[in-house]
Amino acid sequence: MSALLFPSAFTMRISLFLCLFTLCLFTLCLTGCSQSSPTSTDKVQDGLFAGAPTIRPNPIERVPLVAIIDVQSPAEVVPALLIDDGKRQWEQPWPVVAAKKHRIAVLGMRPDREHSIRVKLKAADGQEQISEPLSFTTPPLPKNFPPLEVIRSQPEKMEPGVTLFAANIWRDSVSVLDYGFIIALDEEGQVVWYCHTQDRIADMRILRNGHILYQHGNYRYAYEIDIMGRDINRWVATNLTEPPAENSIGVAIDTTHHDLLELPNGNFLTLATELHRVEEFPTSEFDPEAPKAPAVVVCDAVVEFDPKSGNIVQQFHLKDILDPNRIGYISLGSFWKDKYNDDLGELTRDWSHANALVYIPEEDALLVSFRHLDCIIKLDWKTKQIRWIFGDHDGWGDEWRKYLLRPLRGFEWTYHQHSPQITPRGTIMLYDNGNYRARPFQRATMAPENRSRVLEFRIDEQAMTVEPVFEYDGGASERFYCPFYCEADWLPNTKNILVTDGGHIELDDGTPNDDVPAERQWARIIEVTRDALPQKVFEVRLDSGLDSQFGWSIYRASRLKNLYERFHVRPPAINENHQLFERLPHTRKANPDLIRH
């Protein structure tokens, strides 16, 4: 009985051995079960994955919120990404054809976060497989990043997608030309992509090839880049500027300014400046009896050029369709002094200041906006004849009066407007800056009492009339005034309006001001509904405050569905020698031929 209750040492050793053997066998069974799991790396290697996917940062450092995943499969598959940053989860498709090898760009990640990313592969027979998660931590925003503040965001009422814009900086009221960021914000106003361009940016748009095209803010250069950060092309206006490198494409114009767009035939259309000497030009915007005097006047031209060679296809001098005796407020200013005055030895006059082009392909026609003349002209691009003139009737000579549109229903004219566009229903929408709300020799409304507005209007070309459709000026409690820049975009799904309210100018006491610059420059982007009482559903601001030496402006903004459908996304290989142009100070051309005849 005692032997049964108290086993011998030998019996205990046998029992211990059996226990250890059983434990090892159980562990092996567990390991086998783990290896057969569909989410493990080894199983992945036996299925649609030929090895585990790898992840790495974008080697083009000026676009850091992008990761690159390389994945291979024994079969032709289409990949997608399942992304989790701890607060958001989303699926990113990869819109490519089926293949055995894929290099995928992870887009839409916010800064300074750890992301868990799984690759999902789908074969032609419908079989799907998901990888083990990959980890990628995005870097924080750089210290010199613009000071973005989200005032409001109501995604359920907003147009879905990302907001793309370029931020420009002022230092001590001086426009900084070697600073620039292109930024994409998600529906909550958070940064999900940016490119540190080091270029002040004016007009910016997406080409049909999926690249970004923008004009440098000095109006001497234009750049084509891709969303990964590569420089693709650089164009130089060579009449006044030496090409910075052999691989720059020269265009024989003085400047490329305010608008640069792609035509259906693949050529580019832009605005250019040119100088003309005028023997009798007005000397006052306030006194109609002031004598006229000789002046060197900056005029505008529309230029079509081949982007591959830079060769000019056609060029039209807009002064040929304008009334030479008509000026506007600021027509006597010298906006272009840094381009011309040093070589010319005298002041130039900024007469017309064209600031927008809209091409209408079905009519082969152009809309041309003239900021300082407070008008938009529709031009037949084939015959170069005027179809109509939209704007205040004051000051036009008899030759032009037959083209003037007649206002209906108490229509109020626009002044110093920006960025007209044709909406899907055939109306025209623009940002009416409203500078002075008057023509020369009339009483001007100055900034503290003035307002800007978004305006949509309908033109009847048969009756030659114009009538209002929609207006937004913030209402009595939230009126706004921007004397320069700005845009208003129709949003197709919600019919909301994206407003780039991008050029606020204030004195040191916070009073709005007309003269650019002043003590404070700040900008914002808002989205408003088209209700009878419009509501703001989105607002972000760039503002360093009155006590800062820095100011901010935004020329235009756009809302995109996402970061991959409109863009040509080509992730770089590990050792790719990607192209980045040197950003050197421009070299002025010696003894340029300035005056055109």
pLDDT band at 128; cut points 50, 70, 90 = very high
For range 334-348, the mean pLDDT:
90
Q: Does domain 41-137 correspond to CATH entry 2.60.40.10? A: yes
More confidently predicted of 410 and 162: 162
pLDDT in tens, 574-589: 999 999 999 999 999 9
**Per-residue pLDDT at 592:** 86
pLDDT in tens, 402-440: 999 999 988 999 999 999 999 999 999 999 999 999 999
pLDDT in tens, 530-543: 998 999 999 999 99
Q: Which CATH number applies to 148-283+297-560: 2.102.10.10, 2.120.10.30, 3.40.1280.10, 2.60.40.1080?
A: 2.120.10.30
pLDDT in tens, 52-63: 999 999 999 999
Pairing, β 293-305 against β 348-350: parallel
More confidently predicted of 28 and 159: 159
Indicate if the alpha-carbon torsion angle 294, 300, 304, 305 is positive or negative: positive
For range 245-271, the mean pLDDT:
96
**Per-residue pLDDT at 21:** 42
**Per-residue pLDDT at 90:** 97
**Per-residue pLDDT at 518:** 92
Considering the chain, what percentage of its residues have pLDDT values greater than 90? 87
State the Cα–Cα distance between residues 161 and 158, nearest whole angstrom. 9
Whether residue 291 is preceded by a cis peptide bond, meaning omega within 30 degrees of 0, is no
For range 442-453, the mean pLDDT:
97
How far, in Å, are 82, 289, 290, 437 from residue 442 at the CA level? 62, 13, 15, 9
**Per-residue pLDDT at 153:** 98
Q: Enumerate helices (H) and strands (E) in the chain, giving the number of each.
A: 5, 37
pLDDT in tens, 299-316: 999 999 999 999 999 999
Closest to 454 (Cα-Cα) out of 504, 510, 496, 493: 496
Other Cβ atoms closer than 10 A to 87: 7
For range 32-60, the mean pLDDT:
66
Q: Of the given ranges (24-33, 476-485, 504-513), which has the lowest mean pLDDT?
A: 24-33
Indicate if the alpha-carbon torsion angle 23, 24, 25, 28 is positive or negative: positive
**Per-residue pLDDT at 345:** 85
3-state secondary structure of 400: helix
**Per-residue pLDDT at 63:** 98
pLDDT band at 46; cut points 50, 70, 90 = low
**Per-residue pLDDT at 246:** 84
**Per-residue pLDDT at 32:** 37
Per-domain residue ranges for the chain? 41-137, 148-283+297-560
State the Cα–Cα distance between residues 189 and 491, nearest whole angstrom. 17
pLDDT > 50? residue 490: yes
**Per-residue pLDDT at 427:** 98
Assess whether the region 41-137 and the region 148-283+297-560 belong to the same CATH fold: no
**Per-residue pLDDT at 596:** 80
Place of tokens 């690159």: 68
Q: Of the given ranges (13-17, 142-146, 522-526), which has the lowest mean pLDDT?
A: 13-17
pLDDT > 90? residue 17: no
pLDDT > 70? residue 321: yes
3-state secondary structure of 44: helix
Strands (DSSP E) contained in 362-451 are 365-370, 375-380, 386-391, 406-407, 418-422, 428-432
For range 170-185, the mean pLDDT:
96
**Per-residue pLDDT at 95:** 83
Instruction: Name the average pLDDT for the chain.
Output: 92
pLDDT > 90? residue 376: yes
